Structure 1
């Protein structure tokens, strides 16, 4: 027996175990001390946008829980790809977060990022926004079935506006009408222009998030035919969802918090607790009513499967729309 060799192996084994224990203790201590400095939250849209306003109210609430400032930094561009790339490249220590959304999938399948949602660890879902289909107040359709029947009898004639190529409203519209087996013309606009174009009679219907529509609906200038989401929109409480109308389709627009892959679980848990508390504040709920989003906290264990399921839905819709460039 080579005693020197055996002793050497034992020494190496003890050394490796010691290093592992030290590393584990270091992670535990780091998690206990987190956060020891300000935390950064990347927002994928410009200052003043609805996402930015929501993020800043959320950041204030989280800061009170964490005992450190949560600094919002706007990194807009390329449909969110610029912000995602920045955060994905940061150290996975909890100090760099992204205010993510369904766009994590659309930017990937559009070929704008080399990574998908699995490059991040989910922290918590924060809000949902519920896309709707609306038409002019004097339009002949009163529900989604009537609209789909018209499109079926008049292939390619129905013009449906959305907020732009690759936007959530575009992908949602494509997915919904494809599921009904009808051919319509999808027309991209900016979020403000699409409503103006509908009112001017340049298009027949729009797929939009509800924020800017409520005043026009109350005035009778628009009517909402259905909600393309998992629940009714509070602003239009009497309007049924597509599912309630017998059409198995939903495409909630969610926003949440994610961090680079590999962030220690105790750190993720602390961030999750801070999000939960912030979403429950009166200030956050008031902004929701003002901007047309619903506070919808979901913990990391549930948020991850939500993202994964939504990713598959968006992949199929983008492929049908001819927008999917990444396998």
Structure 2
């Protein structure tokens, strides 16, 4: 009598857990992505918030799980900032890229009562201030810290800026309360305050303007040589099988192409930007080198 081997079960057999590293726009996109990928995979994709340490808490959790496709991380450029600032001992190579999903371009906002309408206005205000000019950031070593430092250094006034973590607040609240003078965050956080006239967004840091704030010029348009944007995507622990990665990649691609995801982009303020695993991995490599060098230049690397 011949006995055949047990048939290999088709992935996924059980729910897939998606670790979310941050709140705000990152969480909003991840929640929608998990719903849409659930429809594609036929098993729940369960979003779990593991915030803290500029992504270090979530990355450390996922890197310690089995490379079987049942634990993935909603990752971003933060894997490079977390590593190069010494928050995690591993780098991007501890993860297998699955797909890039979206991009976001940071925006610089000020209280409308200041009357500042451009980076030139802001530079003059920083130069004229007594003491320190306070810029709000998500946390020391965070992507908003890195972007802010790069921008104000490129403006030639970085030595007069103090970077203040929000604590339990957020950028619009801190700006309106006067506890900070300027803040860089995602455009979607500022739009309603711009519409109400409370805040003024004076620059975005990418090479192109953002659809949700079409009248706001880039830093480069204003003569400041900064080009920084945030990508977000999915990754799994290194060693995850190719067929599992391919299944997750296909589900992510279908989710990004869906009407629900495309419509959310316009409302929330991000750009759908699918890249497959191979192209995404190449992007992560390039960005890691860029941010490693930038953090060294800014004196923020460990």
Q: Normalising by structure 2, what TM-score?
A: 0.85
2:221 aligned with 1:250: no
> Distance in 1 between the 2:227 and 2:186 partners?
13
Of residues 165, 170, 179, the one that matches 1:189 is: 165
Aligned length: 295
Q: 1:156 to 1:177 in 2, by over 3 A?
A: farther
Question: Which ranges in structure 2 are unaligned for 5 or more consecutive residues?
Answer: 1-5
> Distance in 1 between the 2:283 and 2:28 partners?
24
- CA distances 1:110-149 after superposition (whole Å, capped 9, x unpaired): 3221101111111111122221112222434322244335
For 1:226, the equivalent position in structure 2 comes to 203
Q: 1:199 to 1:38 in 2, by over 3 A?
A: closer
Conservation of the 8 A alpha-carbon contact between 2:164 and 2:180 = no
Is the radius of gyration larger for structure 1 or structure 2?
Answer: 1
2:102 aligned with 1:108: no
Conservation of the 8 A alpha-carbon contact between 1:174 and 1:317 = no
Deviation of 1:109 after TM superposition, in Å, equals: 2.2
Moved more, 272-281 or 217-226: 217-226
SS of the aligned residue for 1:244 comes to helix
Of residues 288, 294, 300, the one that matches 1:311 is: 288
* Matching of residues 53-68 of structure 1 within 5 Å: 53-68=28-43
* Matching of residues 3-42 of structure 1 within 5 Å: 33-42=10-19
Q: 1:64 to 1:197 in 2, by over 3 A?
A: closer
- CA distances 1:60-96 after superposition (whole Å, capped 9, x unpaired): 2112222222222333333322221222122222222
> Distance in 2 between the 1:127 and 1:303 partners?
11
CA RMSD of aligned residues (A): 2.7
Conservation of the 8 A alpha-carbon contact between 2:148 and 2:184 = yes
Deviation of 1:160 after TM superposition, in Å, equals: 2.3
2:69 aligned with 1:94: yes
> Distance in 2 between the 1:193 and 1:63 partners?
31
> Distance in 1 between the 2:30 and 2:300 partners?
29
Conservation of the 8 A alpha-carbon contact between 1:177 and 1:184 = no
For 2:145, the equivalent position in structure 1 comes to 170
Q: Normalising by structure 1, what TM-score?
A: 0.79
